[in-house]
Chain A
Amino acid sequence: MLTCKQFLQELNDYLDPNVDAVTKVHLQAHVSECPNCFVIVDTTKHTLQVYKGIEPQAIPDDVKTRLWNALERKMAARGRE
Chain B
Amino acid sequence: MTPTPISALGFDEPSLVERAQSGDSAAFTTLVEQYQRKIFRLAMNITQNTEDAEDVLQETFLKAYQHLDGFQRNSKFYTWIVRIAVNEALMKLRKRRGDKFVSLDEPLETGEEEVKREVAVWEGNPEDRYSQEEIRKILDEAVESLKPDFRTVFALRDIEELSTEETAEALGISVPAVKSRLLRARLALREKLTRQFKRKGEDVFAYL
Contact = CB atoms under 8 A, between A and B. Distances in A.
A9 interface: yes
Interface string B95-130: 000000000000000001000010111100011000
Interface residues of A, number: 37
A8 to B, nearest CB: 7
Secondary structure of the A contact surface, majority rule? helix
A74 B67 CA distance: 12
Given A46-B122, A51-B159, A71-B62, A63 B190 contact: no
B190 A58 contact: no
Secondary structure of the B contact surface, majority rule? helix
Interface of B: 25, 28-29, 32, 36-38, 40-41, 50, 54, 57-58, 61-62, 65-66, 112, 117, 119-122, 126-127, 132, 135-136, 139, 158-159, 161, 179, 182-183, 186-187, 189-190, 193-194, 197, 204, 207-208
Nearest to A8: B187
